[in-house]
Chains A and B, each alone.
Chain A
Amino acid sequence: MFAPLYNFVMENFDLVMAKLRILSDAAKYDVSCSSSGTERRGSDGHIGSAASCGICHTWTADGRCVSLLKVLYTNRCVYDCAYCVNRRSNDVERTAFTPKELAELTMEFYRRNYIEGLFLSSAVDGHPDRTTEEICEALRMLREDFGFLGYIHAKLIPGADPQLVRRIGFLADRVSVNIELPNRESLARLAPQKSPEGILRPMRQITDGLAEQRALVGAGNRYSKYRYAPNTLEDRASAYAHGDPKGTLLAGVGSGAIASGGGLDTAAVVFDGAAEGMSLRQIDTRMAVRKDRFAPAGQTTQLIIGATGDTDLQILALSHAMYKKFLMRRVYFSAYIPLNDSPLLPAIGTTVPLLREHRLYQADWLMRFYGFSADEIVDEAHPDLDVELDPKVSWALRHPEFFPVEINRADAEALLRVPGLGNLSVMRIIRQRRAAALSYDDLKRIGAVLKRAKYFITVNGRYYGGGVKQDSLRDHLLMQSGGVQLDMFSPDGPAAGRLSGAADRLSGAAAPGTPAEARDGIHI
Chain B
Amino acid sequence: MEYIYDGTFDGMLTCFFAHVYVEPAEAIIAESDAGQLGFARRQLIVTDRSKADRVSAAIEKKLSRQSLRRCYKAFLCGESGREMDVLRYVFKGFKTGPCIDMLHGDPDVRRIDVLERKVNWELDRFLGILRFSVVCPEDGVEILYAEYAPNCDITQLMMPHFLNRYRREAFVIHDVKREKAAFAGRGRWVMRPLPKTFSPRFSKDEEAYRNLWRGYFTAAAIKERLNPDLQKSFIPTRYWEYLTESPERNDPRP
Known: A62-B227, A65-B234. A47 touches B102 (CB 8 A): no
Q: In the complex, which residue of chain B has the Cβ closest to the Cβ of A25?
A: B219
- Chain B nearest CB: distance from A332 CB in Å? 14
> Does B220 lie at the interface of the complex (its beta carbon under 8 Å from any beta carbon of A)?
yes
Closest to A59 in B: B234
Contact status A432-B103, CB under 8 Å: yes
B168 within 8 A of partner (CB): yes
Indicate if the CB atoms of B131 and A112 lie closer than 8 Å: yes
Q: A10-B208, A109-B213, A337-B222 are in contact. Are A60 and B231 (CB under 8 A)?
A: yes
**A70 interface residue (CB < 8 Å to B):** yes
- Which residues on the A side are within 8 Å of B138 (C-beta)? none
A113 touches B222 (CB 8 A): no
Q: Confirm or deny: B188 has a beta carbon within 8 angstroms of a beta carbon on chain A.
A: no
Nearest CB of chain A from residue B43's CB, rounded to whole Å: 34
Whether the pair A443, B213 counts as a contact (CB closer than 8 A) is no
Q: Are A431 and B104 in contact (CB under 8 A)?
A: yes
Q: Tell which of B132, B245, B251 touches A58, judged by Cβ atoms closer than 8 Å.
A: B245
Q: How far, in whole Å, are A69 and B215 apart by their CA atoms in the complex?
A: 12
Q: Which of A51, A114, A488 contacts B233 (CB 8 A)?
A: A488
B165 within 8 A of A: yes
Quote the shortest CB–CB distance from B159 to chain A (angstroms).
13
Do A112 and B133 touch across chains, with their CB atoms under 8 A apart? yes
User: Residue of A at shortest CB range from B99?
Assistant: A435
From known contacts A16-B212, A491-B227, infer whether A24 and B219 are also in contact, taking CB-CB under 8 Å.
yes
Q: Does A123 contact B (CB under 8 A)?
A: no
Select which of A45, A49, A61, A428 is within 8 A of B231 by beta carbon.
A61
Question: Quick check: B228 and A44 within 8 Å, CB to CB?
Answer: no
A352 touches B (CB below 8 Å)? yes
**Complex Cα spacing A423 to B133, Å:** 39
Contact indicator B105/A28 (Cβ below 8 Å): no
Complex: chain A residue closest to B187, CB-CB: A44
**In residues 44-70 of chain A, which contact B (Cβ within 8 Å)?**
44-49, 51, 55-67, 69-70
- A56, A114, A431, A512: the one within 8 Å of B131 (CB): A114
- A residues 433-470 touching B (CB-CB < 8 Å): 434-436, 438-439, 441-443, 445-446
CA distance A48 to B168 in the complex (A): 9
Task: For B165, give its contact among A28, A42, A65, A493 (CB under 8 Å).
Answer: A42
Q: Chain A residues near B223: list those with CB within 8 A.
A: 62
Say yes or no: B103 contacts A435, CB within 8 Å: yes
**A58 in contact with B103 (CB, 8 Å):** no
List residues of chain A with CB within 8 A of the CB of B247. Answer: 61
Chain A residues positioned under 8 Å from B72 (CB to CB) = none
- Checking A46, A116, A432, A513 against B230 with a beta-carbon cut-off of 8 angstroms, the contacting residue is A513
Q: How many A-B residue pairs have CB under 8 A?
A: 189
Chain B, 89-107, CB within 8 A of any chain A CB: 96, 99, 101-107
Minimum C-beta distance from A3 to chain B (A): 13
| Count of chain B residues with a beta carbon within 8 Å of a chain A beta carbon | 62
Cross-chain contact B128 with A55 (CB below 8 angstroms): yes
Contact with B along A94-135 (1 / 0, CB 8 A): 000000000001001101111010000000000000000000
A428 to B227, CA, bound (A): 33
Q: Which residue of B lies closest to A62 (CB)?
A: B225
Contact check: which of A47, A55, A116, A488 meets B169 at CB < 8 Å?
A47
Give complex CA distance A51, B216 in Å: 23
**Looking across the interface, which residue of chain B has its beta carbon closest to that of A493?**
B229
B217 touches A58 (CB 8 A): yes
The listed residue (A44, A446, A489) touching B105 by CB distance below 8 A is A446
Closest to A109 in B: B213
Contacting residues, chain A, for B161 (C-beta < 8 A)? 49, 51
Contacts of B224 in A (CB 8 A): 337, 352
CB distance A28 to B219 under 8 Å?
A: yes
Taking CB atoms, residues of chain A closer than 8 Å to B211 are 17
B129, B163, B209, B250: which contacts A108 (Cβ < 8 A)? B209
**B residues near A434, Cβ cutoff 8 Å:** 99, 102
Chain A positions within 8 Å of B128 at CB level: 55-58, 67, 113, 116
* Pair B220/A47 contact, Cβ less than 8 Å: no
Can you list 9 A-B pairs with a CB-CB distance of less than 8 A? A49-B165, A58-B243, A61-B247, A62-B225, A62-B230, A63-B230, A65-B234, A493-B229, A510-B230
| CB-CB nearest 6 A-B residue pairs | A442-B105, A63-B230, A510-B227, A60-B221, A62-B225, A63-B227
In the complex, given contacts A55-B128, A61-B251, what are 10 additional A-B residue pairs having Cβ atoms less than 8 angstroms apart?
A17-B211, A47-B169, A59-B234, A61-B253, A62-B230, A63-B231, A64-B225, A354-B225, A493-B229, A510-B230
Residues of chain A whose beta carbon lies under 8 Å from any beta carbon of chain B: 9-10, 13, 16-17, 20-21, 24-25, 28-29, 41-49, 51, 55-67, 69-70, 105, 108-109, 111-114, 116, 147, 337, 352, 354, 428-429, 431-432, 434-436, 438-439, 441-443, 445-446, 488-489, 491, 493, 510-513
